[in-house]
Amino acid sequence: MAVRASRLKRALGAVTAAALIAVVAACGSGDSADSASGGDVTLEFAQWWGAELPAGEFDKIVNDFTAQNPNIKIKLLSAPYASTKQQLITGAASKTLPDVVGLDGAWVNDFAKQGAITDLSKLMTDANYDTSQLASQVQVKGKTYMIPVVNFVYPLFVNKDLLAKAGVADVPATRTQFLDAAKKISATGTDVKGWALPLDTAVPNGIQNDVMSWLWASGGSMLKDGKPDLTSAPVKSTVEYVKSLNDAGVIAPGSLTMKEQDKVEKFTNGQVGMMIDSLAHINLIKKNKPDLKFEVAALPSVDGYTGKRGIPYASWGIGVSNSTKHKAEAFKFVSYLMSQETNAKLSTIANGFPGNKNAKPDFSNSDPMFKTAFDIYQQGYPANEFVGLPKSEDLMRSFDEQLQLVLTGKTTVDEALAKSQASWSSVIE
């Protein structure tokens, strides 16, 4: 499950990985010493955000904090997502995390159980922090360990030219309409399909973004009272719907080994009419194919559904090391990033949506589709039930393996869900 904001962007800049490895290995949070002059505190902040933002933009935000708090220095440890992930996993195991850490929701449960990240609920209480301004919190057993700072949603992307060529007047709003549109698009050419479904088990986030998203779009849940509920009618309906798309021949070939970047490439090249994808890819698609006419829309729901639609998301989350000597100062920095003004500024330059629900991004210099997506986001709710689950990537992978058996005709939907239920139940306490 790696919000992710953009896996394509994370793959860039890998040459900086060695720098982060050396720094994190040498400087765990327990070694963050006060500066020699005046007892100033230096906080190390490891994240991948700076590597994905325009050059210098994140530094400006951090510099504004240090200008307001001259006794607190921030040492940024910025590297691509993959490098940051590996180093934080290593640091969590050895209890040598930097003072403040960027977090993916998939890591939270394991880090919390290891005692590597601290209980933010206590820090918020100690600081008299108003939690009502937070759009969401990631908790483990009732305690907050991560605060989503910027959210990156996954709406439906549609190729307007392919829809028009297929004779589809409106963007699909229901599952029935989506299947009909996918069939018509697939009939327009031998190398064109209606939808792309990435199911590579090495990076199984397609289960989160491209499969369970159909469930959440109709207000459904894969959990009940925090436990797996994979044999429920809504989950079964979701898997049966994905199977119906596969049986209709509207899914791009190679889905069993397809990764997210392959899906985006096929959409960009006009080989796929529709996909569920990160909003962060809008500018990338336009850069690579300026003449491609596309738009974003809410995910289709079950026919007749009138409630709020869940929309998949990934986050730039933030947490505090449990071993830092400077928890109060670290939370002061966290609260600064979550303040209405700063959070609006950060979400604007990141082309994401704010974690402070009172903050509003500035869309004046952005592509109009970001404003459209923000309206969709506000009308629905962010939905990603994998966030905070233990070994969430392994959960996705085991479900992925069963789904592949369904799509290749080697097992039934009921059998696959029963096995997934048993597998998940052995992981989720």
Low-confidence ranges of the chain (pLDDT < 70): 1-39
Query: Which helix H or strand E contains 335, and what residues bound it?
Result: helix 327-337
Residue 54 has a pLDDT of 85
In contact, 126 and 145? CB cutoff 8 Å: no
Backbone angles phi, psi at 343, to 5 degrees: -65, -40
Backbone angles phi, psi at 158, to 5 degrees: -130, 135
Q: What is the pLDDT of residues 278-306, one digit of tens each?
A: 887 888 899 899 999 999 999 999 999 99
Residue 175 has a pLDDT of 98
> Coil, strand or helix: which one is 112?
helix
Domains assigned to the chain: 7-153+314-382 (3.40.190.10), 156-311+390-425 (3.40.190.10)
Q: What is the pLDDT of residues 10-20, one digit of tens each?
A: 443 443 444 44
Task: Find the helix packing angle between 392-407 and 233-247, rounded to 10°.
Answer: 50
Q: What is the pLDDT of residues 296-353, one digit of tens each?
A: 999 999 999 999 999 998 899 999 999 999 999 999 999 999 999 999 999 999 988 9
Helix H, strand E, coil C: the string for 224-271 is: ECCEECCCCHHHHHHHHHHHHHHHCCCECCCHHHCCHHHHHHHHHCCC
Residue 20 has a pLDDT of 44
Residue 366 has a pLDDT of 85
